[in-house]
Amino acid sequence: MKRKILAVLLAASMLGTLGACGSTQTQEEAKTDENATETEDDKGTSFKGVKIEVDIEDSIQGDQNTLDCFNKLIDEFSKQTGAEVEVVQNGSDHENIMKTRMASRDMPDMFVTHGWATLRYNDFCEDLSGEEWVSRLDDAVKSVITDENGKICTAPLTQWVYGIVYNADVLEANDIDPYAIKSWDDFKDACEKLEANGITPLDISGKNGSTLTGTMEQLNSFYTIDGAPYENREALKDGSFDFTKNTQFLDLYAELYDNGWFNEDIFTADQTTMFKYLGSGEYGFDLWGSPANIQTMKAYTPDANFGIIPVPAVEDGGNAAYTVGEGTCLAISNTSENIECCKALLNFLLDKDNLTEYCTANGGMPGLTDVSPENSESLQLYKKSVEAAGDNIAYSNFFDREYLPSGMWNVMQETMAKLYNGDVGTAKDRVAEAASYFQENYKTLLETNG
């Protein structure tokens, strides 16, 4: 705006200097420029005087490049529309702040839903199912942000997708086609082949616990996804599910451990170590990984090639599965007095060029299908795996978010630690102990936290 005003003042100054020498044509050109400036300003004031609050957390502010890009896009929107957008950085306190504001029914105009759009915030979210960008939603994240009535509760700038990451060079050298791995039996056949050729089939990190917990998200493949052989979503929802009588997942992981297929330093290896292991050429699979992890692995071992596949089906002919979560997702409060302005901001952020810029800065997978950020090799690898799976693929929310009471994350970690806490060949003897520990805490937290 300042540049536009300066242009008008300079034009007036030039006219004064020219005086009598100035022609009628020059004066008319100056008027035309001024009118054009006014017209441009008018275009950008459709929300002039409107103020909206956007509450964010660490999915945006946790990375400086992401935050800078987000603020830049917000500034551009404000300049174009005249809207005043206040970005409130809640950081790690975001969840508690939102709980307080829900209780007082004083929600911000827009807010990051951090994985809880349908499960917690549904009653507070404006339905976005009629927006233009819905037709461009990726199927994976669409399944997570849509409730049972078809209401779309939040807008996904990015999404999290987790499956099994592999070293493509290692698999190729051992004549293993990753896309031919359809079931866990196929996966175990691949592991046997790697072991026979001197490759450690699997790596996992237990030092910080997140990967141990992450693998338990694969419970979905056994008990919740369409076609799951032991599907019992109703019992999981009402709390009557008994994990001591449903140990199929723990039985599988005990078998993988007892076969000696893991790295020996499970409890001392952190995630960085795990990433470097997979890039070293000495390991085959990382049992809990994402396209974003592939980008990190490439940074550590740029000459290595990687890929990703969904978690295999439990039985032949069943569905493989990706665990999908919200990345950067923004909802509109259904009590906002400026819903149209909020929708305009969402449309602006989800514009193809703008979202490409954001995803490039963030490194996350876009929530829309027509966006390909720079350095998007990992995104293409994910898409290739989906195509290879054909109709035999399912998408699920994080198991703990959908089916477990609050507070179970650490319990999941400790459950897997108990399973691995012993010599190779003995994990099968600890399945009952691990299942009982999980069940006891599940019941206790269900009663206290709901």
Query: Buried b vs exposed e over 66-85: b needs ≥16 C-beta within 10 Å?
Result: bbebbeebbeebeeebbbeb
Q: How far apart are CA 352 and CA 284, in angstroms?
A: 36
Q: What is the pLDDT of residue 6?
A: 33
CATH number attached to the domain at 51-156+328-363:
3.40.190.10
Q: What is the CATH number of domain 162-322+379-449?
A: 3.40.190.10
Contact 218, 209 (CB under 8 A): no
Cross-strand partners of 167: 306
Cβ-contact 430, 436 below 8 angstroms? no
Distance (Å, whole) CA 23 – CA 28 = 9
By the 8 A CB rule, do 438 and 415 touch?
yes
- Supply the pLDDT for residue 363: 81
pTM of the predicted model as reported, rounded to 2 decimal places: 0.83
Q: What is the pLDDT of residue 368?
A: 96
pLDDT along the chain (450 residues), means of 10: 34 36 40 40 70 97 94 98 98 96 98 96 98 96 95 97 98 99 98 99 89 94 96 95 98 99 96 97 97 91 98 97 96 98 98 95 90 84 96 95 94 97 97 98 91
Widest CA span of the chain, in angstroms?
102
If we measure between CA atoms, which residue out of 323, 321, 394 comes closest to residue 365?
323
**Cβ contact 417:210 at 8 Å:** no
Q: Which amino acid is at 41?
A: D
The pLDDT, as a whole number, for residue 45 is 54
Intrachain domains 51-156+328-363 and 162-322+379-449 with the same fold: yes
> Tokens at residue 233, please?
């979503």
Tokens 């699997």, located at residue? 202
Closest CA to 94 of 54, 122, 124: 54
Residue 208 pLDDT: 79
List the domain boundaries for the chain: 51-156+328-363, 162-322+379-449
Nearest Cα neighbor of 161 from 380, 397, 384 is 397
